[in-house]
Amino acid sequence: MASYCSSSGSSCWRYDVFPSFRGEDVRGNFLSHLVKEFENKGIITFKDDLIERSHTISLEIIEAIRTSKFFVVLFSENYASSSWCLDELVEILKCKEEKRLELLPIFYKVNPADVRNQTGQFGGGYRETCQGKDSEKQTKWKAALIKAANVAGEASYNWLVEADFITKIARDISAKLNATPSKDFENVTGIESHMRKMFPLLCLEDNEVRMVGIWGPPGIGKTTIARVLHSRLSSEFRFTVLMENVRGNYQRTIDSGEYNLQVRLQTELLSKIFNQKDLRVNHLGTIEERLKRQKVLIVLDDVNKVEQLEALANEIHWFGPGSRIIITTEDKQILVGHGINHIYEVKLPCRKTAVEILCIYAFKQSAPPEGFMDVVVEVAEISGHLPLGLRVLGSHMRGKNKDRWKLELRRLTTSLHEKVEKMLKISYDELHVRDKALFLHIACMFNGENIDLVTQLLVNSDLDVSLGLQVLLDKSLIQITADREIVMHNLLQKLGREVVKQQSSDPGKRQFLFNTKETCNILGNNTGSGKILGISLDISEIQNDLSLSERVFEDMRNLMFLRFYDKTIDEKTSLKLHLPRGLNYLPTLSLLHWVAYPMKYIPSQFRPESLVELRMMHSQVEKLWEGTQTLAYLKTIDLSFSKNLKEVPDLSKAISLETLCLQGCESLVDLPSSVLYLQKLKWLRTTMCAKLKVVPPNINLASLEVVDMEGCSQLKTFPDISKNIETTFMGNTGIEEIPPSVGQWSRLESLDINSCRNLKMFSHLPKTLVYLYLTGSGIEMIPDCIKDLQWLYYLYLDGCKRLVSLPELPGSIKILSANNCKSLEKISSSFNSPKARVEFSKCLSLDGEARRAIMQQWIYKRACLPGREVPPEFNHRARGDFLTVNLGDVAASGFKACLLLLPSGSNKVCTVYCHLIGKEGRLIAKHRFGGVFKDFVAAHLFIFYSVLLEQVDVIRFEFSSIHYEITECGVQILTDAS
């Protein structure tokens, strides 16, 4: 058994057990039987038969101690009468602590208290041995006896039959040796990251009993983590057990009844922990009785029923102080319901680690051979970085050349490897029938969709959606992102789709259609059935145009979800699905998503009463339907780039509508008055509706947050439709004024009126404004009230060619961009915004006072303005792009720098660099300023400020710029006083 030598050579095991004993007491009886039992169990024991004993232990004994894995100290009445034994004990304890090995004290016909306290006959022998020995040696001996006697051991007086006593000792030591931390898991890729996160949860230094959960989806590596923890921690505990596949044990005994099941589970655990195959459990209090005083490490792997925890670890007081119970499960609710608060959620490995895992199994090395990286990365992506998939697919690919990898990839893209499918399907099979149905809906239709949308789409089903989603989440079969999107791992998605495929050999008789070829065949041949609940077809994958019958959906009476989408969609999406004879019928759908719908109208028989989402981008539709329809569930209408749309239908009964998107509907002239009923509308978008002229006035939509009418060039009147708007985009419209009522919009944060050339002035703005975009507008003046906007951070005035002056601005400004304001002459001298970045490039009309205000009065991050020379206040000046400043004793806190840049004819953006160099060329600091300006035709000054983080005597300032020439530079040193 003892054959291991570490790679470093520091720990070479020659023996499993080193026994320390007093020969005259035990050699011919108890010890000989014990060593014989060790031999029967394959335990290699050190024997000192040929070593001559003296007053001090020999180097051979020390070497034997240091190459043994386990120590047995056999205390007998005359043990302490031997200085050899006592020296041996000191060396054993020293080695135990250095190498973190285990020791078992056996008290053979001697009381442990006599050993601990050196009393009785044992103590008498000890005192005789101490005579004539120095105090240092006596102190070491005494400490060693106390320490060894305090280790939990075995006492002969507890046993009537010595043979049973010996059998028990040998069995326990054998179990301990088998549980010794192995090298099996040292090279598990990515395991150290898990260990770093697990150890704080385990809190091993705490003496409390703690239960810790490891939670994650099937195949993510929970069992591997549990095995590594058991391997590494076993030496810290008196008793340990790794109970794998608890789920399987439960299923094997399920017919026995709940009570008998729990008894069997307890029997299995105790049999393993005590290494007794014949152990019997007669009642459910046995674990508590046997383990409540023991420090134990119990690992329960793959728990899937709360009853299993109730049987194996129902209460923390079942176990002794310092015990740790580790549970792995796919169901978080089992842990939460059991009161376990310390839970480690296992995440998927990163791409680098995933590739490494795959390569270990495919090539037996951590990186792919030359030329394989592309296919390796693709296989890792197909596996979704799931460790189970990486291991199985890596092993499957082992020994195959690159061409074979490519062939295998085609199959792996659409189907699961049978081993992966078998593993993942266990979790699916255990779901309630309604949760299985919900799983299939997500796998085939709703992976990546918003949880609120999915809940609404299934509101009329019998799936218990809210409960079902929580069950799938707890069982790690889905995740919910911070954006509330439902995400199912792609291998689980493939599993769900495989389940659907197995419903029938005829795709037209399955619940969901998602395969492009199969879906096109069914639609083209009109062979659908009432079994079909949902269709999801990416029309970009259709090779040839497909003509559909006018009756294509008549046999799909139960169809609820119809999605014809285009993952490559742009404004030039071409028609792929044609209806040459029209369309007679659409079922009562909850989801209608048909990109490039080829008809002018939806079938008149269509009843949208269950419709939740209507998306018909790039359609040929002119009007959806006639009259007033019941639209109580409708949340979204998106008719973007439906260029023939002339009229929005009556939406007065769309009381739940939250999004109305009409972007690029070039034929649309007005919005219907029925929009006043849309009190839940949050987002209204009519971007690039070039003919839109009329927006109903005098309405106040309570929930409206975003209005985007950018590019509605015919729109003359600012839409005053809600006081609750937070963001509005009105750029490139024909509006001529902003109504005073906008000043009362108490939630408005962003107002974009870029390129509104008919807009000359405005008088009122809300104090909540953060962003104000006026770039390219016809504005001639900014109202004085702007100084009161204490939340205004960003003001963009670029290209306002009629703007003559700037009033006092609030100190909150972070960015003031007024480039190319050709008429701008004056700037308020009272403006002082210490955190601002100000830009006045190509503002060639700025008068001298305005220039001085920019350069002298402001402390800011950066500024840019026309100029011909570095001003004198930058008292350290030089021609060219560098200068040296001798600071002497000046306590500098920062500096302002000014650079003169000349035009170069380049239209590229100017980027400026600054390096601060100390003595002997040491770099003190460096700065980069991107996007300063571009294509200017006159000399400009670029000014910036920075702190100095250290005090030095001399600084060399080196400046540079890409595409532009720096002809002069200047620096002003700042102190706290300045």
Which CATH class name applies to 876-975?
mainly beta
Contact indicator for 71, 169 with CB cutoff of 8 Å: no
The predicted structure's pLDDT at residue 179: 59
Handedness of CA 249, 250, 252, 258 (dihedral sign): positive
pLDDT tens track for 131-171: 988 889 999 999 999 999 988 889 988 888 888 889 889 88
- Given a cut of 80, whether residue 337 has pLDDT beyond it is yes
Handedness of CA 478, 479, 485, 488 (dihedral sign): negative
Q: What is the mean pLDDT of residues 947-976?
A: 89
Picking from 144-158, 198-212, 593-607, 845-859, which range would have the lowest pLDDT averaged per residue? 845-859
Tell me which of 55 and 261 has the higher pLDDT: 261
Q: Average per-residue pLDDT in the chain?
A: 88
- CATH superfamily label, 15-178: Toll/interleukin-1 receptor homology (TIR) domain (3.40.50.10140)
Q: Which of 77, 88, 102, 839 is catalytic?
A: 88
Residue among 395, 351, 346, 398 at smallest CA distance from 219: 346
Tell me which of 906 and 811 has the higher pLDDT: 811
The predicted structure's pLDDT at residue 180: 55
359 phi/psi in degrees, rounded to 5? -65, -35
pLDDT tens track for 781-797: 898 889 999 999 999 99
In the chain, % of residues over pLDDT 70: 93
The predicted structure's pLDDT at residue 12: 61
Question: Which helix (H) or strand (E) covers residue 32, if one does?
Answer: helix 30-40
pLDDT tens track for 870-893: 999 899 999 999 999 998 888 888
- CATH superfamily label, 736-866: Ribonuclease Inhibitor (3.80.10.10)
Q: What is the mean pLDDT of residues 734-748?
A: 90
Picking from 171-185, 272-286, 309-323, 480-494, which range would have the lowest pLDDT averaged per residue? 171-185
- Given a cut of 50, whether residue 850 has pLDDT beyond it is yes
Count of helices and strands (H, E) across the chain: 26, 39
Known active-site residue 88: yes
The predicted structure's pLDDT at residue 511: 97
One CATH from 1.10.287, 1.10.10, 1.10.3470, 3.30.310 for 426-502: 1.10.10
Q: What is the mean pLDDT of residues 940-965?
A: 89
Q: What is the mean pLDDT of residues 197-214?
A: 93
Picking from 41-55, 64-78, 680-694, which range would have the lowest pLDDT averaged per residue? 41-55
Give the pLDDT band of residue 540 (cuts 50, 70, 90). confident
Give the pLDDT band of residue 3 (cuts 50, 70, 90). very low
895 phi/psi in degrees, rounded to 5? -155, 155
Q: What is the mean pLDDT of residues 685-707?
A: 91
pLDDT tens track for 751-777: 999 999 998 888 889 999 999 999 999
**Distance (Å, rounded) from C-alpha 341 to C-alpha 880?**
66
Residue among 11, 133, 153 at smallest CA distance from 83: 133
The predicted structure's pLDDT at residue 396: 84
Residue among 720, 682, 718, 684 at smallest CA distance from 699: 720
**Is the domain defined by 191-345 classed in CATH 3.40.50.300?**
yes
pLDDT tens track for 346-405: 999 999 998 988 898 888 888 899 989 998 898 888 888 888 888 888 888 888 898 898
Contact indicator for 833, 811 with CB cutoff of 8 Å: yes
Contact indicator for 243, 272 with CB cutoff of 8 Å: yes
**Distance (Å, rounded) from C-alpha 127 to C-alpha 142?**
10
The predicted structure's pLDDT at residue 250: 63
- Given a cut of 70, whether residue 675 has pLDDT beyond it is yes
Residue among 82, 87, 85, 79 at smallest CA distance from 26: 79
- Given a cut of 50, whether residue 29 has pLDDT beyond it is yes
The predicted structure's pLDDT at residue 93: 92
- Given a cut of 90, whether residue 293 has pLDDT beyond it is no
Contact indicator for 194, 188 with CB cutoff of 8 Å: no
The predicted structure's pLDDT at residue 184: 56
Residue among 217, 228, 424, 426 at smallest CA distance from 326: 228
pLDDT tens track for 214-260: 999 988 999 999 999 998 888 778 788 899 888 877 665 445 567 87
- Given a cut of 50, whether residue 966 has pLDDT beyond it is yes
The predicted structure's pLDDT at residue 6: 38
Give the pLDDT band of residue 201 (cuts 50, 70, 90). very high
